[in-house]
Amino acid sequence: MSYLIKPTGYKSLLNLSQTELGIKAIKDFFQQNLSSELRLRRVTAPLFVLKGMGINDDLNGVERAVTFPIKDLGDAKAEIVHSLAKWKRLTLADYQIEEGYGIYTDMNAIRSDEELDNLHSLYVDQWDWERVMKPEERTVDFLKEIVERIYAAMVRTEYLVYEMFPAIKPQLPQKIYFIHSEELLQRYPDLTAKEREDAITREYGAVFIIGIGAKLSNGEKHDGRAPDYDDWSTPTPDGHVGLNGDLLVWNSVLGHALELSSMGIRVDREALLRQLAITNTEDRKELFFHKRLLEGELPQSIGGGIGQSRLCMFYLRKAHIGEIQSSIWPETMRKEAREAGIYLI
């Protein structure tokens, strides 16, 4: 069901022309900085993949992919990608990328099961990136190092926006705060997962929550994660589990946390087998992607996605992702948004 947050007294700080200029400047500057920080080269990515090969991202495992038949392949089904988490790892192997280097791409997707609101659209655009790592780098410290590099690019980009549009004052703190999802639960035991995200992000401005996908001490997951890309079940020295997480910033326009990136160290053979068993999805071992991983043909890697429209929405202080991208919205939402001073493209 669609839902609209209407900030009291909202008025965009930029007109349509300024907004478009800002979007282009942000995208150009940020991806260049991301590439430099992580040593990534740009590659071309697919919009769709063949169904039944295990390449498409399963997200939480319940979202349906948009499918269509291919006439010249005997009506074999293709799926619009949800993200490129698995495809990127195959590409690292095929391109024989060296340790310490990686790839990034512009990923466009359609998520028809998305519940539409200020942050969620049918159309998804993000920078998907993946980098080859050494087996000994499967640590929380290495995960944090990569997060800090990405966050440094975000801070620099916010200052670029301020130079272009002085009315938009920088808000990001210089350092990002790290916390494990179990620690977050212990800090706010009476709040829901989303309320805990709001509370911690309001306090620190920018937060990386480690450990997304495994059950916490209350028997619930902080959030869902598919079993076959991020490693969310490996025990860590601090007594928790998980080598993945979400990067959130405080959205002062909406008064909520805003997730900008989901990322993590990817499953190795042991983690994949463990997580397939935990989620009762061991039949996936026979799929193309999973076979290659289990047979040792894919490199160890770390990777993630960074929402392009969400990033622009945050920097340009917009109240709705539809002020950044063109998509389909319920007519009732468009009408309500107009009345609240929010003009959807």
pLDDT, residue 62, reads: 63
Q: What is the 3-state secondary structure (H, E, C) of 184-238?
A: HHHHCCCCCHHHHHHHHHHHHCEEEEECCCCECCCCCECCCCCCCCECCCCECCC
- Told to judge if 32 belongs to the known catalytic residues of this protein, a careful annotator would answer no
pLDDT in tens, 111-146: 888 889 999 999 999 999 999 999 999 999 999 999
Measure Cα distances from 292 to 131, 268, 302 in Å. 18, 11, 17
Q: What does the alpha-carbon distance between residue 211 and residue 186 come to, in Å, rounded to a whole number?
A: 14
Distance CA 90, CA 158 (A): 33
d(CA 88, CA 97): 11
* Reported pTM: 0.94
The catalytic position among 12, 31, 35, 57 is 57
What pLDDT, on the 0 to 100 scale, is given for residue 53?
80
Q: Is 140 helix (H, G, I), strand (E, B) or coil?
A: helix
Residue tagged active-site, from 58, 259, 268, 323: 259
Q: What is the pLDDT of residue 9?
A: 93
Out of 12, 31, 89, 111, which one is annotated catalytic?
111
State the pLDDT at residue 58.
65
For position 55, what pLDDT does the model report?
82
The residue to which tokens 């080859």 are assigned:
132
Active site residue 203: no
Say which of 12, 31, 83, 126 is annotated catalytic: 126
Low-confidence ranges of the chain (pLDDT < 50): none
Choosing from 79, 158, 246, 323, the catalytic residue is 246
In this predicted model, what pLDDT tens digit does every residue of 84-102 receive, in sequence order?
888 999 999 999 999 999 9
Find, among 15, 22, 17, the residue nearest to 309 by Cα: 22
279 CB-near residues (< 8 Å, 6+ apart): 61, 227
Superfamily in which the 16-48+84-327 domain is placed by CATH: Bira Bifunctional Protein; Domain 2 (3.30.930.10)
Q: Which residue pairs from 14-20 have beta carbons closer than 8 angstroms and sit at least 24 positions apart in sequence?
A: 14/165, 14/316, 16/343, 18/165, 19/316, 19/318, 19/323, 19/324
246 labelled catalytic:
yes
**Residue type, position 92, single letter:** L
Is residue 113 among the annotated active site residues?
no
Catalytic residue of the set 262, 301, 308, 309: 262
